[in-house]
Amino acid sequence: MKTLDYIVKLTNTPSPTGFTTAIMDYIQTEVESFGYQATKTPKGGILVSVPGKNEEEHRMVTAHLDTLGAMVRAIKPDGRIKMDLVGGFGYPSIEGENCLIHVAKNGKTYTGTILMHQTSVHVYKDASTAERNQTNMEIRLDEKVKTADETKALGIEVGDFISFDPRTIVTDSGFIKSRHLDDKVSAAILLHLLKTYKEEGIELPYTTHFYFSNNEEIGYGANSSIPDQVVEYLAVDMGAMGDDQQTDEYTVSICVKDGSGPYHYELRQHLVALAENESIPYRLDIYPYYGSDASAAMRAGADVRHALLGAGIESSHSYERTHIDSVVATEKMVDVYLQSEMVE
């Protein structure tokens, strides 16, 4: 598989935070098919340790597979479902989206659509103005149900997970449109690099741990299971776009600061030097309302140099978009970094 193929595969695999077993099993199986040994951590992440020439100082690079999603909060008297959100996003970003309800009791999956209760403009005066919130938003099931008991008879209960239709599209002009490009673009990049290193017999200068995490969207993905020898930690996530942002959809975004504070200055400068030496298009940026697995690791007490970079993602935590140029630049940046000498 190529990186783009992995992106399509991963985005079409449901994995809201807390419901990631299937996608993590896929990652483990895929990595092991390359010839690596993959370890599942107690909280469900996948750790792949690749021996390098230097086994005294290690690197860690991470991407996360968990996504935004929801859970069944309540079953309403008319049989529709009230949601509770998983991850940091707002109800307006999922209005009108198709979804899946993953039933824990019997393993079945049901389809539905996320709508305002007051959707019909022919009936509700406030259809356009009512607040999009937990009270007003609901799931219309694609089943013949008119009461709470009829919905419960399907096996649906409070706590069942809800995933959103990714609607993954790759355009002829090179754009990739999908939910959950955050952070499945990065996971696809790491998978492809692992595959390439094995196929081409590339030995990295330092033993490197590839950590595919599964709890980043709720703040504690790859903040544990960090080997003691790790001194550099690179989170490969997404570059945020918007007003005052330098990030675009065609370059790799190197974060200098996010909501947790500045990233390690010398490591950031090392990445910039590598990008300039290798003619990799990049942008430096600040993500004001953002945290990464690297910042979570720092809060957990990791004594490492930490950095964050990623492809530029438009409309983050909504129906996202990037361009293949940004994916290529990001993959090259990660590859060049992993094959470079450490910061002194």
Centroid of chain to Cα 111? 23
122-174 pLDDT, tens per residue?
999 998 999 999 999 999 999 999 999 999 999 999 999 999 999 999 999 99
Fold (topology level) of 3-67+180-338 = Aminopeptidase (3.40.630)
269-326 pLDDT, tens per residue?
999 999 999 999 999 999 999 999 999 999 999 999 999 999 999 999 999 999 999 9
Residue 293 is labelled as binding a ligand: no
Domain ranges of the chain: 3-67+180-338, 69-164
Range list of β-strands (E), the chain: 38-40, 46-50, 54-64, 69-75, 81-86, 98-102, 109-116, 137-141, 161-164, 169-170, 175-178, 206-213, 230-240, 252-258, 261-262, 282-286, 305-313, 320-323
What is the pLDDT averaged over residues 330-334?
98
Tokens representing 139 are 């799931």
End-to-end Cα distance, the chain: 36
Residue 1 has pLDDT above 90, yes or no: no
Residue 182 is labelled as binding a ligand: yes
Residue 344 has pLDDT above 80, yes or no: no
What is the pLDDT averaged over residues 30-50?
97
Residue 237 is labelled as binding a ligand: yes
Query: Is 69-164 in the same CATH topology as 3-67+180-338?
Result: no
Task: Say which CATH architecture domain 69-164 belongs to.
Answer: Beta Barrel (2.40)
Q: Note if 216 is an active site residue.
A: yes
Give the model's pLDDT for residue 85.
Answer: 97
Give the model's pLDDT for residue 10.
Answer: 98
Give the model's pLDDT for residue 89.
Answer: 95
The position carrying tokens 């942002």 is 245
User: Which one of 97, 138, 216, 232 is the catalytic residue?
Assistant: 216
190-244 pLDDT, tens per residue?
999 999 999 999 999 999 999 999 999 999 999 999 999 999 999 999 999 999 9
What is the pLDDT averaged over residues 55-61?
96
Residue 64 is labelled as binding a ligand: yes
Q: With pLDDT > 70 as the criterion, what percentage of the chain qualifies?
A: 100
d(CA 38, CA 310): 24
Residue 102 is labelled as binding a ligand: no
